[in-house]
């Protein structure tokens, strides 16, 4: 059965076809497809009624039939609107034009343009039909906005579907929207503007008074404009973004403290920043070729009145492909000359072609002045250093000469002291030795023995003075060393107490030596030097004390391995001004001078010995009240097993029976010294032979083969050292052997 459509259905089909054909002709016309437009007009003349009074190439309107016979789509208006939208690239202006066009052509009273901003929807433009004014807003968020139906906008943004409500309060899914309930809006149109499948904007239109205000024709106008509007919005956004970036970049470059100039590939200046204008005092970009740059900008070779050569200008070299940095350029502007540092580099495209060259420069006048000042200062300093070096070299030479002279003087002094010591000790030894021999005689009366005691004591005193001078000489020459041994410290203190007890009692003084329980009995340090220091201090204390007594206090500090000493007396005391020089060599206090004893060396040597043992010595004194000496030494505690036991000393009266008769050779250039040894040794049964120098000693040794040799160190012809060395050498050469323990030990006694 064939069903023939009714008239009403045919009419609707015709109207739809008519509408689509009109739209197609419009877009072909818009795109400039003239041949296609003529083809449509020729094939379907009944659809295109051309008004002869208008533009022959564009029809003003497309008539519709049926229910829309009284409405028409103004193609010319749509084209003009589209051109107006696409011709504006500034976002605010474009939005303003778009909203005006939509309000005028779509039949809305209120319109809003909504853009997406950082993931949120914001109203960017508002238009009211009453005054036809468009207000570009400052991005009002749609969320919780009271100007429109938020639920409709959210729906369109989510689905990209168009919403058309002919009576919003009575139809559709948004009748419960708070805004619609409040405003009783009639017609609402909300559509998404899409660009390349992405949401570009949302148009929200509203007519609060008229229902069905947005007719199909008006919707068609909106449809025709939406594509162009989306593209225009995207372009305007892009333009705005580019412009903002450009402005930011310009601000950054203008804020830089260096000048920036950009040249195109022809050498023309295309941009200068604010600093460049201020430095050059040229505020408009000049039209100048590369050859004119130096003259226009007054660029000179540093330190000259010659313009900077064009071929060497950094910007010219960069346009040839070089990256250049120079510091030999000056800007001459009025009364000012500025030194410039310029860095220029080429800017190339992806093909390697140089499109631009950019030069950055800065005023380095102050730096150049500083460099010149520094260079001048360096030259002056170098000259001063050279002069000072020469002075130092002269001083070093003079000092070396002085040191050599001092060394020679010290050597001469040491030699002199050694010789004097030998010359003094030799007769003293004879005096003391013979006095001791005579003192053994039972035939001498008591009176003569007293005389011998006086001789012996004075000899010992002279020997002590000689030893002090030698000790000081060693200390000054830096040749004094520690000879550390393990010894019984308590025994040393007891010996000292016994030594000074008699002299203290003779003067009616109390001698008290106290030690705390923690003071170790066995120590490791230089016993001889410690004994000498204590003897010196105790001797002085007793010597200069008339009433009271002398106290010695000793304590230990185990963590520091130190022994602390205090020697205090109740004597005459030392004046405050004398304490400053008390430890200087050959300096005596007034009390010491009155006593007419001593050399002023004892305390100097004592403090030096204490310093050598890792300690320090101090003194406090008050005239009439007494003196207190304090010192400490570094000393390690040892065990009794570490102490070398001393054999008890006895007086020798002879050699044990059944012993061989030992041959002894006595070598000394002084007859009295030889005689002393002969007198001391002959009673014991030794076979004694004498020699007066080293040469005689060697000759006698070869013939006599002594078991033991007493050898003087200093003798004419050949001294004892050389003689002993020659004897030892000959022993090795001839491989002499003997059962004598003296030979096996190579026994020499050098004196």
pLDDT above 90: percentage of residues in the chain: 21
Domain contains 654: no
**Is the pLDDT assigned to residue 553 strictly greater than 90?**
yes
Please state the domain count of the chain. 6
Instruction: Return the pLDDT at 491.
Output: 93
**Is the pLDDT assigned to residue 145 strictly greater than 50?**
yes
Long-range pairs, 162-166, Cβ under 8 A, ≥24:
162/189, 162/190, 162/191, 162/192, 163/188, 163/189, 163/190, 163/191, 164/188, 164/189, 164/214, 164/219, 165/189, 166/211, 166/212, 166/213, 166/214
Three-state DSSP at 297 gives coil
For residues 605 and 737, state if they share a domain.
no
Long-range pairs, 486-489, Cβ under 8 A, ≥24:
486/522, 486/523, 486/524, 486/638, 486/642, 486/643, 486/644, 487/522, 487/523, 487/527, 487/643, 488/521, 488/522, 488/643, 489/519, 489/520, 489/521, 489/522, 489/523, 489/563
Q: Domain of 742?
A: 663-750
Residue 119's pLDDT band (boundaries 50, 70, 90)? confident
SS (H, E, C) 613-668: CCCCEEEEEECCCEEEEEEEEECEECCHHHCCCCCCCCCCCCCCCCCCCCEEEEEC
The arithmetic mean of pLDDT across residues 537-566, rounded, is: 93
For residues 574 and 517, state if they share a domain.
yes
The arithmetic mean of pLDDT across residues 109-118, rounded, is: 83
The arithmetic mean of pLDDT across residues 133-151, rounded, is: 78
For residues 304 and 263, state if they share a domain.
yes
Instruction: Return the pLDDT at 545.
Output: 93
Residue 632's pLDDT band (boundaries 50, 70, 90)? very high
Rg, the chain, Cα only: 62
Domain final residue pick, 426, 458, 475: 475
Instruction: Return the pLDDT at 122.
Output: 86
Domain contains 88: yes
**Is the pLDDT assigned to residue 222 strictly greater than 80?**
no
Closest C-alpha to 690, from 708, 705, 672, 668: 668
Residue that wins the pLDDT comparison between 573 and 23: 573
For residues 405 and 553, state if they share a domain.
no
For residues 336 and 377, state if they share a domain.
no
Most confident of the ranges 227-241, 294-308, 735-749:
294-308
Low-confidence winner among 15-24, 380-389, 631-640 (lowest mean pLDDT): 15-24
Instruction: Return the pLDDT at 408.
Output: 78
Domain contains 735: yes
Residue 517's pLDDT band (boundaries 50, 70, 90)? very high
Instruction: Return the pLDDT at 61.
Output: 32
pLDDT tens readout for residues 596-617: 455 667 888 899 999 999 999 9
Residue that wins the pLDDT comparison between 747 and 32: 747
DSSP at 147: S
Q: How far apart are CA 71 and CA 79, in angstroms?
A: 18
**CATH code, 177:** 3.30.450.40
**Is the pLDDT assigned to residue 746 strictly greater than 60?**
no
Instruction: Return the pLDDT at 52.
Output: 32
Strands in 522-525's sheet, in edge-to-edge order, are 485-488, 522-525, 636-637
Q: How far apart are CA 449 and CA 458, in angstroms?
A: 14
Q: What angle do CA 299, 301, 306 make, to 5 degrees?
A: 85
Instruction: Return the pLDDT at 747.
Output: 63
Structure tokens at 359: 């030069």
The arithmetic mean of pLDDT across residues 690-705, rounded, is: 91
**Is the pLDDT assigned to residue 665 strictly greater than 90?**
yes
Instruction: Return the pLDDT at 644.
Output: 76
The arithmetic mean of pLDDT across residues 481-499, rounded, is: 91
Domain final residue pick, 202, 236, 270: 236
Most confident of the ranges 148-152, 548-552, 747-751:
548-552
Instruction: Return the pLDDT at 50.
Output: 41
Closest C-alpha to 316, from 265, 259, 353, 279: 265
Closest C-alpha to 291, from 264, 266, 260, 259: 266
**CATH code, 620:** 3.30.565.10
Strand pairing class (708-711; 663-667): parallel
Domain contains 271: yes
Q: How far apart are CA 263 and CA 243, in angstroms?
A: 21
Domain final residue pick, 70, 99, 123: 70
Residue 19's pLDDT band (boundaries 50, 70, 90)? low
**Is the pLDDT assigned to residue 688 strictly greater than 90?**
yes
Residue 567's pLDDT band (boundaries 50, 70, 90)? very high
pLDDT above 70: percentage of residues in the chain: 80
Burial 693-726 (b: 16+ CB within 10 A, else e): bbbbbbebbeebebbbbbbbebbeebbbeebbeb
Q: How far apart are CA 112 and CA 103, in angstroms?
A: 10
Domain contains 80: yes
Domain contains 104: yes
Low-confidence winner among 38-52, 174-188, 421-435 (lowest mean pLDDT): 38-52
**CATH code, 321:** 3.30.450.20
**CB within 8 Å of 80: residues ≥ 6 apart:** none
Instruction: Return the pLDDT at 599.
Output: 62
The arithmetic mean of pLDDT across residues 226-239, rounded, is: 75
Q: How far apart are CA 573 and CA 628, in angstroms?
A: 9
Structure tokens at 271: 């941009």
For residues 146 and 278, state if they share a domain.
no
For residues 602 and 526, state if they share a domain.
yes
Average pLDDT over the chain reads: 80
For residues 223 and 103, state if they share a domain.
yes
Domain contains 425: yes
The arithmetic mean of pLDDT across residues 539-547, rounded, is: 92
Instruction: Return the pLDDT at 592.
Output: 57
**Is the pLDDT assigned to residue 736 strictly greater than 60?**
no
For residues 322 and 414, state if they share a domain.
no
Total Cβ atoms within 10 A of residue 153: 22
Q: How far apart are CA 277 and CA 259, in angstroms?
A: 8
Q: What distance, in Å, lies between the first and last C-alpha atoms of the chain?
A: 162
Which residues are 559's β-sheet partners? none
For residues 462 and 567, state if they share a domain.
no
Q: Are 490 and 496 in contact (CB under 8 A)?
A: no
Q: Are 614 and 631 in contact (CB under 8 A)?
A: no
Most confident of the ranges 9-13, 426-430, 742-746:
426-430
pLDDT tens readout for residues 406-427: 777 777 766 776 677 667 777 7
Residue that wins the pLDDT comparison between 307 and 283: 307
Q: Are 115 and 124 in contact (CB under 8 A)?
A: yes
Instruction: Return the pLDDT at 548.
Output: 94
Domain contains 439: yes
Residue that wins the pLDDT comparison between 671 and 231: 671
**CATH code, 669:** 3.40.50.2300
For residues 621 and 521, state if they share a domain.
yes
Residue 54's pLDDT band (boundaries 50, 70, 90)? very low
**CATH code, 402:** 1.10.287.130
Three-state DSSP at 442 gives coil
**Is the pLDDT assigned to residue 142 strictly greater than 90?**
no
For residues 537 and 601, state if they share a domain.
yes
Q: Percent helix, strand and coil across the chain, each rounded to 5?
A: 45, 20, 30
Q: Is the pTM of this model over 0.75?
A: no
Name residue, tokens 């007493």. Answer: 710
The arithmetic mean of pLDDT across residues 625-646, rounded, is: 89
CA 750 from centre of chain: 63
Q: How far apart are CA 150 and CA 143, in angstroms?
A: 7
Instruction: Return the pLDDT at 33.
Output: 56
The arithmetic mean of pLDDT across residues 731-736, rounded, is: 68
Residue 59's pLDDT band (boundaries 50, 70, 90)? very low
């Amino acid at each position: 059965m064939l069903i023939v459509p009714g008239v009403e259905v045919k009419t609707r089909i015709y109207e739809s076809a008519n509408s689509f054909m009109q739209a197609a002709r419009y877009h072909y016309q818009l795109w400039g497809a003239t041949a296609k437009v003529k083809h449509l007009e020729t094939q379907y003349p009944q659809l295109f009624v051309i008004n002869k009074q208008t533009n022959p190439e564009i029809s003003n309107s497309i008539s519709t039939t049926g229910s829309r016979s009284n409405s028409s789509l103004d193609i010319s208006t749509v084209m003009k609107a589209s051109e107006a939208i696409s011709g504006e690239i500034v976002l605010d202006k474009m939005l303003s034009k778009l909203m005006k066009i939509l309000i005028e052509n779509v039949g809305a009273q209120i319109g809003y343009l909504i853009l997406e901003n950082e993931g949120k929807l914001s109203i960017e433009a508002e238009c009211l039909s009453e005054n036809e004014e468009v207000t570009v807003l400052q991005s009002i968020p749609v969320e919780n906005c009271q100007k429109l139906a938020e639920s409709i906008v959210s729906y369109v943004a989510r689905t990209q579907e168009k919403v058309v409500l002919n009576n919003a309060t009575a139809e559709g899914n948004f009748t419960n929207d708070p805004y619609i309930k409040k405003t009783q809006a009639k017609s609402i149109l909300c559509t998404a503007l899409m660009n390349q499948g992405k949401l570009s904007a949302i148009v929200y239109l509203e007519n609060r008074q008229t229902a069905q205000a947005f007719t199909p024709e008006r919707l068609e106008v909106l449809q025709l404009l939406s594509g162009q509007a989306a593209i225009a919005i995207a372009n305007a956004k892009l333009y705005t973004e580019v412009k903002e970036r450009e402005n930011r970049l310009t601000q950054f470059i203008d804020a830089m403290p260096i000048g920036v100039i950009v040249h195109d590939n022809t050498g023309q200046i295309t941009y200068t920043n604010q600093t460049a204008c201020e430095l050059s005092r040229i505020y408009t970009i000049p039209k100048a070729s590369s050859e004119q740059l130096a003259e226009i900008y007054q660029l000179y070779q540093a330190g000259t009145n010659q313009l900077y050569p064009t071929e060497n200008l950094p910007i010219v070299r960069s346009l040839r492909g070089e990256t250049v940095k120079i510091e030999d350029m000056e800007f001459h502007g009025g009364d000012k000359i500025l030194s410039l540092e310029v860095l220029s580099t080429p800017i190339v495209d992806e093909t390697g072609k140089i499109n631009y060259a950019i030069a950055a420069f800065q005023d380095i006048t102050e730096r150049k002045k500083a460099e010149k000042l520094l260079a001048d200062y360096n030259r002056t300093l170098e000259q001063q250093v050279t002069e000072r070096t020469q002075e130092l070299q002269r001083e070093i030479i003079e000092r070396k000469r002085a040191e050599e002279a001092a060394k020679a003087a010290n050597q001469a002094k040491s030699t002199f002291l050694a010789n004097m010591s030998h010359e003094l000790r030799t007769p003293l030894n004879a005096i003391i030795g013979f006095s001791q021999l005579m003192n053994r005689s039972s035939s001498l009366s008591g009176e003569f023995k007293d005389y011998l005691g006086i001789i012996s004591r004075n000899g010992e005193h002279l020997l002590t003075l000689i030893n002090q001078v030698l000790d000081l000489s060693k200390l000054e020459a830096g040749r004094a060393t520690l000879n550390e041994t393990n010894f019984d410290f308590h025994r040393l203190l007891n010996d000292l107490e016994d030594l000074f007890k008699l002299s203290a009692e003779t003067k009616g003084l109390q001698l008290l030596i106290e030690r705390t329980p923690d003071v170790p009995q066995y120590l490791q340090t230089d016993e001889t030097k410690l004994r000498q220091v204590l003897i010196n201090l105790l001797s002085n204390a007793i010597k200069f004390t008339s009433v009271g007594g002398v106290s010695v206090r000793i304590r230990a500090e185990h963590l520091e391995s130190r022994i602390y000493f205090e020697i205090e007396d109740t004597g005459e005391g030392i004046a405050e001004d004398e304490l400053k020089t008390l430890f200087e060599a050959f300096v005596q206090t007034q009390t010491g001078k009155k006593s007419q004893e001593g050399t002023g060396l004892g305390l100097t040597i004592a403090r030096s010995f204490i310093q050598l043992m890792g300690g320090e010595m101090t003194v406090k004194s008050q005239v009439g009240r007494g003196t207190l000496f304090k010192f400490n030494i570094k000393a390690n505690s040892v065990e009794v097993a570490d102490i070398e036991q001393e054999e008890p000393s006895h007086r020798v009266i002879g050699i044990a029976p059944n012993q061989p008769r030992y041959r002894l050779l006595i070598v000394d250039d002084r007859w009295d010294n030889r005689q002393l040894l002969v007198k001391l040794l002959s009673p014991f049964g030794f076979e004694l032979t004498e020699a007066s120098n080293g040469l005689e000693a060697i000759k006698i040794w070869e013939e006599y083969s002594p078991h033991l040799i007493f050898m003087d160190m200093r003798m004419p012809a050949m001294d004892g050292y050389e003689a002993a060395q020659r004897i030892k050498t000959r022993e090795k050469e001839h491989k002499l052997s003997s059962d004598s323990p003296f030979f096996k030990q190579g026994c020499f006694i050098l004196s």
